[in-house]
Amino acid sequence: MRVGVITFPGTLDDRDAARAVNRSGAQAVLLWHGDTDLKKVDAVILPGGFSYGDYLRAGAISRFSPVMNSVIEAAGEGMPVLGICNGFQVLCESHLLPGALTRNSDLHFLCRDQEIEITNNMTPWTTTFSLKERIVIPLKNGEGSFQCDDKTLAQLEDEGRVVARYVGENPNGSRNLIAGISNERGNVVGLMPHPEHAIDPLTGPTAQGLGFFTSILNSMVK
Amino acid sequence: MSLDTVAAAQSSPDTKQPFAELGLKPDEYARIKEILGRRPTSSELAMYSVMWSEHCSYKSSKVHLKQFSEKAPKSAALLVGIGENAGVVDVGQGYAVTFKIESHNHPSFIEPYQGAATGIGGIVRDILTMGARPIAVMDPLRFGPADAPDTRRVLPGIVAGIGGYGNCLGLPNIGGEVVFDQTYAGNPLVNALCVGVMKHSDIKLAKAAGAGNLVVLFGAKTGGDGIGGVSVLASETFDSSRSTKRPSVQVGDPFVEKLLIECSLEIFAEDLVVGIQDLGGAGLSCATSELASGGSGGMKVALDKVPLRDPSLSPEEILMSESQERMCAIVEPHKLPRFLEICKKWDVTVTAIGEVTDGNRLEITWNGELIVNVPPRTVAHEGPVYNRPMAQPAYIDKVNSQKVKLSIPHTATEIKEAVLKLAAAPNLADKSWVTSQYDKYVQGNTIQSHPEDSGMVRIDETTHLGVAISTDANANWSYLNPYQGAKLALAEAARNIATAGARPLAVTNCLNFGSPEDPGVMWQFAETVRGLADGCLAMGLPVTGGNVSFYNQTGTVAILPTPVIGVLGVIQDVRTRTPMSFDTAGLDLFLLGQTYEDLSGSEWAFLHGERTGQAPTADLAREMRLIELLLAGHAAKIFHAAHDLSQGGLSAGLTEMVLRYSVGAIIALENVGVALLSESPGRVVVAIDPKKVSDLRELATTHSIKVEKIGTTGGDSLTINDCVIDLDELRHAHTSTFPRLFG
Amino acid sequence: MAKIVVEVMLKPEILDPQGNAVASALPRLGFSVAKSVRQGKRFEIEVEGEPTASQIAQVEKAAEVLLSNPVIETYVVRVEK
């Protein structure tokens, strides 16, 4: 199973995402922002980082990359897409996901081991988790506050499209403690915290992030 | 006014030039004329003035720093020593690691965010230019009093700048320091360390070799950053209708540097450069003269080819510009097309601006006219060398003869009060407010970071080879005895490497001092360097490079001498590293090393406004035996945890250990006040399984290190004799300070 | 040379922590004038000569698609000498 990992100029966690994909048993395929060729991957990950320096708005420039045209098309046809942190920002700017990520409410960049609860385990990225399972994975960003209008919020909640929620104190001011959401179809997921940094207790707080990557493997193998 | 060319300089020998405004002394100006056989052009004058400045030429420190080479211990691990952009050591398995620490003190006082950000940018480029992928950063920081209004102005900006730049580059921050002292009010110290890794065959040096090879400038475009001083030349040679507003603050763009890193590494991987230099202080003046000096000796540059952000810059300004994120490479002509292709892929601006020549002159033209024609070595390496006068300051004998007067706690209530007071002291309190603004996870190889004794990064995912780095300084001790202070800081940094189970290998240093024109400061500097050189020789650890920052003072009051020592070590398998603390009950706690009444220069003394007394005397032979004990114990797997004792003594050490995983300890101590507050060097607290005690005692005997059981782990309090401190109360004291001070 | 200016502000209902931080800092420095502060962005786009209606329309489109995020921001376009 092939999972694409996109590198935009300024992307930082692409190799970490690729490591996580390989660790899960799938094959990571590196994709370049300037190429429209998705190289026949079965799923795509938009990793974390500071693409284009977060200039203008985080993800605002990346969304116009040639590769994103292909991703938008493929997502429309049901390809699973996971956006992590900056990737989530790109997905919102591309309108593949609703809402927007804004500056953390206390204005500081925050790196901490964050407990989240998986609130939707039906997406191809979350099937190996049990519903309401709590895991600890790193959160590290300056613009992680999820915002949307009331109508969108109600829709996300009513349709069960909140994929993960922060447990405990709200780390960044996100509405309803939202840490991750999906699109209507459920194949596109945006997640603020970083599962790729929690695949080994040697280098991360836990290995509980691996579930996102084994889920996609299981979803395709079925 | 017309361009000041070499021809013009030859025909107008009596033109008055503003050499004094540019910082040159009359005898230095005379020497330049002697070297050139004529007066310098304004461009040449600008180059010499900045390259012969203290910051670039090390003119006050050279005579002392040569001890690092003269007294260098033989080390098979040293691949590149002092003199290059950064030192390189062999860590085994074909890997080479490069590391260096630098200062960006003055700019960070003026503009905290950009000063600190560009400090990170600069040190990262120094590592990149050696051919390495940068893999981690550390930031030892020093500020005025924690509750001073100016600290509240400066600290948040500096932390945000380090985080803002480092995080955007994708470099994990694996440690550092935050120290507060009145001495740094008005003179914050921002020292930045970077580590990089490469294969031996990747090492790049700063030399321009091979006549006909091209000089290629790539990275950001050049603007008027950091040229404040040289604009006096611009106003001399150009009319007043030009804008004279030239920013003196350098502004960094971490996104451009990230692209520069990826672009450079691809260029290195395809072996496309003969030599490379990054553009830091003195920009192009430095890069061209150093590359030319390092190679065949000759270089020709067409300055008008430099891509500009600001088209109104004069040639002098272009030469002086300190615009960030720029590198200069020497490329064989047949490799240039591929070089350009890679730059295009990463959208990095690139231009060939000159070529290496036979002969021994650096010639720079502007639109075909020769404006610089100098022997490059005279610019880059043969600057003035001062043997500044030094004299032991009067305060030394005075403070050394005064015994420090302190109240020592005895009763349970007094002990509790003292422990809580130290736990909450800004110098010892929990630093999460700072460290949570730094990404420690990016690249996925961070094994340990703050608050552990050292930062540790995995180098190889298959073999689990790793490196550990620690930075340490003790200005209180350096003030009391600069010679001993340097040795003690070196020993502490090396010990911090060994507690994790890594073997110390090499040293870098950042020497922060007041004005070298003050004989007392110069004496402090000379004693510090002598102590560090002697210490490195004794411990077998070569100095691979470093940085000197002078003029850290307000008016006539210099900062306390603050030599920051960085030590790098190697661990064969990061999975075996010893953490700083324990997460289970039932372990025995042992104190390794001897405790004396060493309260002078301690945090306890500092909190009571006492700065007198004598610094401890470093016993490096004993420190080395302790390091061997720690490594032997690590190899035999007898330690559950090992934590170095430094500022705050045993009190701080125990506080940090019990709060790390919220497992308490029951401690029994004689002469409890001194036992808790003394800062005798060469001490470590270890947690071990009771079954391994005899192994520990045997190792202690073999290595002649005193070892004493002080307690056991467990419970939800820190109990010392009959004093019980609830962990929640201790945690509250420890973690409330920074949020209270900085919001 | 005239310029077309685009000013982008967060929608009123969106939390503006930077504006709030500024509003808190002002009284600390002795400025008691502000009831509230909102922080936004200003883009200055230089064109040759006087901006034409077509150029202004282009900038408006750019404001909609790139310079602002309509989910959370509003914009205003004007010409300045």
For residue range B399-454, list pLDDT tens digits in order. Answer: 999 998 999 999 999 999 999 999 999 999 999 999 999 999 999 999 999 999 99
**pLDDT tens figures, B574-633:** 999 999 999 999 999 999 999 999 999 999 999 999 999 999 999 999 999 999 999 999
Q: What is the pLDDT of residue B739?
A: 97
Phi–psi pair at B439, nearest 5 degrees:
-75, 120
Asked if pLDDT for residue B243 goes beyond 50, the answer is no
Asked if pLDDT for residue B732 goes beyond 80, the answer is yes
Q: How many CA atoms lie within 13 A of B714 on its CB side?
A: 8
Residue ranges making up the domain that contains C33: 3-80
**pLDDT tens figures, A115-145:** 999 999 999 999 999 999 999 999 999 999 9
C-alpha gyration radius of chain B: 27
pLDDT category at C14 given cuts 50, 70, 90 is confident
Domains along the sequence of chain A with CATH: 2-221 (3.40.50.880)
With a CB cutoff of 8 Å and minimum separation 6, the contacts of B238 are B1, B314
Amino acid at B122: G
Nearest to B326 by CA among B374, B274, B259: B259
Q: What is the pLDDT of residue B247?
A: 58
Q: What is the pLDDT of residue B251?
A: 85
Closest partner residue to A111 (CB to CB) among B164, B438, B445 is B438
pLDDT category at B380 given cuts 50, 70, 90 is very high
Task: Identify the residue among A52, A57, A101 best suited for mutation to test binding to C, counting C beta carbons within 10 A and taking the highest.
Answer: A57
Q: What is the pLDDT of residue B233?
A: 57
Closest partner residue to A60 (CB to CB) among C14, C17, C69 is C69
- Annotated active-site residue B55? The verdict is yes
Q: What is the pLDDT of residue B84?
A: 84
Q: What is the pLDDT of residue A20?
A: 98
CA distance C30 to chain A (A): 23
Q: What is the pLDDT of residue B228?
A: 61
Asked if pLDDT for residue B737 goes beyond 90, the answer is yes
Q: What is the pLDDT of residue C51?
A: 92
Q: How many CA atoms lie within 13 A of A190 on its CB side?
A: 28
Determine if residue B94 is left, alpha or beta; phi over 0 gives left, psi from -120 to 50 gives alpha, anything else beta: left
Nearest to B373 by CA among B361, B383, B382, B357: B361
* Contact flag A202-B575 (C-beta cutoff 8 Å): yes
Q: What is the pLDDT of residue B239?
A: 40
Q: What is the pLDDT of residue A36?
A: 97
DSSP C67: I
**pLDDT tens figures, B207-227:** 878 999 999 999 999 998 877
Helix ranges (H only) for B519-608 are 519-539, 603-607
Asked if pLDDT for residue B145 goes beyond 80, the answer is yes
The fraction of chain C above a pLDDT of 90, given in percent, is 68
Amino acid at C28: R
Q: What is the pLDDT of residue A146?
A: 98
Extract the tokens encoding A142: 């300056």
Q: What is the pLDDT of residue A222?
A: 54
Q: What is the pLDDT of residue B230?
A: 56
The fraction of chain B above a pLDDT of 90, given in percent, is 88
Measured between alpha carbons, how far is A13 from A30 in angstroms, rounded to an integer? 12
Lowest-pLDDT range of B149-163, B360-374, B384-398, C18-32: C18-32
Asked if pLDDT for residue B241 goes beyond 90, the answer is no
The fraction of chain B above a pLDDT of 70, given in percent, is 97
Q: What is the pLDDT of residue B294?
A: 84
List the beta strands (DSSP E) in B272-317.
275-278, 298-302
CB-neighbour burial class of residue B608 (10 A; exposed 0-12, middle 13-18, buried 19+) = middle
Asked if pLDDT for residue A221 goes beyond 70, the answer is no
**pLDDT tens figures, B65-81:** 999 999 999 998 999 88
* Number of folded domains that form chain C: 1
Beta bridge partners of residue B92, listed in sequence order? B95
Q: What is the pLDDT of residue B235?
A: 45
CB B322, CB B250: distance < 8 Å: yes
Q: What is the mean pLDDT of residues B556-566?
A: 96
Q: What is the pLDDT of residue B242?
A: 45
Active-site annotation holder among A92, A93, A143, A194: A194
pLDDT, chain B, mean:
94
Closest partner residue to A19 (CB to CB) among B255, B435, B444 is B444
**pLDDT tens figures, A48-89:** 999 999 988 999 999 999 999 999 999 999 999 999 999 999
Asked if pLDDT for residue C28 goes beyond 90, the answer is no
CA distance A77 to chain B (A): 30
Nearest to B328 by CA among B290, B362, B357, B297: B290
* Contact flag A15-B443 (C-beta cutoff 8 Å): yes
Q: Does B451 sit behind a cis peptide bond, omega within 30 degrees of 0 on the bond before it? A: yes
Active-site annotation holder among A33, A85, A148, A197: A85
Nearest to B679 by CA among B536, B528, B402, B491: B491
Amino acid at B503: R
Q: What is the mean pLDDT of residues B100-118?
A: 93
**pLDDT tens figures, C48-70:** 888 999 999 999 999 999 999 99
Q: What is the pTM of this model?
A: 0.95
Measured between alpha carbons, how far is B418 from B411 in angstroms, rounded to an integer? 10
* DSSP notation for B75-116: -TTEEE-BTBSSEEEEEETTEEEEEEEEE-HHHHHHSHHHHH
pLDDT category at A24 given cuts 50, 70, 90 is very high
Task: Name chain A contacts of B163, Cβ cutoff 8 Å.
Answer: 109
- Annotated active-site residue B643? The verdict is no
Extract the tokens encoding C25: 């800092």
CATH at residue C69: 3.30.1280.10
